[in-house]
């Protein structure tokens, strides 16, 4: 019927191999061949990947790297509105994870347009499992600040982080970042440096921050780098006697003794009964 808008298409974020083309999923191959528009972080690397996969694409390829992401956004959204399948791929791994894609997904979701994902390789989870470090709980922190002062302040926020921490780094800055980590977090914090994951020269260097920094300072860091830090060890709970003053201040402000003890004990990680008894003893 004339004047009826076409049904919207779909925006698809697809993970691409980190290095070995054999890690590509059958779904990624199908999407490359069927997409109407392919937004690639690096169009040359996309063409090389399609060639390695022996896949022929018929869709229009547009560049979609950091500097042009905002400029490309309206046209890509319009394509989805007009019924197109728009495939978003980064150089390696998952788009939007320290790569272009987040703004486009957010805008598509805000506009009520269909968005989906073709999952696959990720340097974050690959490095985690290869690190040999406890990784039941972890956080990802992107790229560290480039300047040493800002980087040290960032590392300070990780001093008491109980989860494993994963971050990316440039090979040119890896040694300096690890030197700052030794200074802020201490030489004995377990860590792993993973480079060129799934590629011919894959290497995982495990040890303490001091030992992996010594390796990196030797000038052997090349390629894509992912660092994993072990979570911080739990600190011992403070003596209950040192918490009595905090309870007293809360009760003087009108809080019930039972409630004040419960709040302070939970925050400090001490038994409520012990703190309650210490508070009563201090009153006599």
Give the tens place of pLDDT for each residue, 155-211: 999 998 989 999 999 999 999 999 999 999 999 999 999 999 999 999 999 999 999
Whether the Cβ atoms of residue 38 and residue 60 lie closer than 8 Å to each other? yes
d(CA 223, CA 199): 10
* φ, ψ for residue 283, nearest 5 deg: -85, -15
Domain 124-229 has CATH 3.30.70.100: no
SS3 14: strand
Task: Work out the angle at residue 211's Cα, subtended by the Cα atoms of residues 208 and 212, and round it to the nearest 5 degrees.
Answer: 85
Whether the Cβ atoms of residue 18 and residue 199 lie closer than 8 Å to each other? yes
Domain 10-121 has CATH 3.40.1010.10: yes
For residue 2, pLDDT beyond 90 = no
Structure tokens at 260: 């004040």
pLDDT in tens, 226-250: 999 999 886 666 788 888 888 988 8
Place of tokens 């999407």: 31
Polymer length in residues for the chain: 284
Taken in order 24, 22, 201, 132, the sign of the CA dihedral is positive
Going by the DSSP 8-state scheme, the letter that residue 234 receives in this structure is P
Q: What is the pTM of this model?
A: 0.77
Domain extents in the chain: 10-121, 124-229, 240-282
């Amino acid at each position: 019927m004339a004047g009826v808008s076409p049904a919207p298409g779909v925006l698809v974020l697809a993970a691409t191999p980190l290095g070995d083309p054999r890690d590509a999923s059958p779904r990624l191959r199908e999407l490359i061949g069927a997409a109407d528009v392919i937004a690639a972080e690096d169009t040359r690397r996309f063409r090389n990947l399609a060639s390695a996969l022996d896949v022929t694409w018929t869709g229009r390829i547009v560049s979609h790297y950091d500097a042009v992401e905002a400029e490309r956004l309206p046209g890509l959204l319009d394509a989805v509105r007009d019924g197109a399948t728009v495939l978003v791929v980064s150089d390696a791994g998952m788009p939007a994870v320290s790569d272009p894609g987040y703004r486009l997904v957010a805008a598509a979701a805000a506009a009520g347009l269909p968005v989906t994902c073709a999952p696959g390789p990720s340097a974050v989870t690959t490095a985690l499992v290869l690190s040999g470090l406890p990784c039941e709980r972890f956080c990802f922190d992107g790229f560290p600040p480039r300047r040493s002062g800002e980087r040290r302040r960032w590392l300070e926020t990780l001093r008491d982080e109980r989860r494993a921490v994963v971050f990316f780094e440039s090979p040119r800055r890896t040694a300096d970042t690890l030197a700052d980590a030794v200074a802020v977090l201490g030489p004995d914090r377990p860590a792993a440096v993973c480079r060129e994951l799934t590629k011919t020269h894959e290497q995982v260097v495990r040890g303490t921050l001091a030992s992996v920094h010594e390796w990196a300072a030797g000038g052997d860091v090349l390629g894509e780098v992912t660092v994993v830090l072990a979570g911080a060890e739990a600190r011992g709970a403070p003596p209950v006697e040192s918490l009595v003053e905090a309870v007293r201040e809360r009760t003087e402000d009108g809080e019930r003794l039972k409630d004040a003890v419960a709040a302070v004990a939970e925050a400090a990680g001490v038994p409520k009964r012990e703190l309650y008894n210490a508070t009563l003893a201090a009153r006599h």
